[in-house]
Structure 1
């Protein structure tokens, strides 16, 4: 037969656990949510550039760019199959540079990509 009565020691042990979790939870949750918000800001590219300078373009020789097979002209990559950044869900139009549309990409935080570019992470816009 199981005794369902809680003894004094068990009560205080459970109480200490609940109080400990309640004391630590706000700090942990605040840290998690603020770091997620900061990460989203970086992915959107809304973090201001140093000194108010314009955001840089992605360098095709950058390690991340090479890893995702980034090319500045989708016509130069047979893998693109006609897809380009402008039709990708990760792309958001930002401005025009040298007569070409450029925008932010969640793959390349803090940098701009050409609308006509393509990479292996291309994902159909919803």
Structure 2
């Protein structure tokens, strides 16, 4: 498979993930801290986390798509921007991600 085919496939995967998750981004805005308390933290070694190269600490990310300053806390998919340390993410429903984490589904908050 050509490198351009792989790049196109990766782009389509990320675009699809972003488009699917974008409508869900606003749903978590009404989530209260008490509702989040019972949610487990996303395990970096889980299948879904590995699929999107998720890491709890963005400063430790070694991925070609990562750019300095990107983290879950300033991502559009982090559905409760007021959540500190751990918060909900539209890409990983039912789990909390680290505010300082990062994955390849990162979308800058407008």
Q: TM-score under structure 1 normalisation?
A: 0.53
1:63 to partner: Cα distance: 0.6
* Higher share of residues assigned helix: 1
Please state if 1:84 is matched with 2:71: yes
1:1-126 correspondence to structure 2 within 5 Å = 40=24, 44=28, 54-79=38-63, 80-82=66-68, 83-91=70-78, 92-93=80-81, 95-96=83-84, 101-126=85-110
Q: 1:94 to 1:57 in 2, by over 3 A?
A: farther
State the structure with more CA Rg.
Answer: 1
| Root-mean-square deviation over aligned CA pairs | 2.8
Runs of 4+ off more than 4 Å: none
Query: Relative contact order (alpha carbons < 8 A, sep ≥ 6): 1 or 2 greater?
Result: 2
Q: TM-score under structure 2 normalisation?
A: 0.60
1:94 to partner: Cα distance: 5.9
What runs of 5+ residues in structure 2 fail to find an aligned partner? 1-23
* Higher share of residues assigned strand: 1
What runs of 5+ residues in structure 1 fail to find an aligned partner? 1-39
Would you say how many aligned residue pairs link Structure 1 and Structure 2? 80
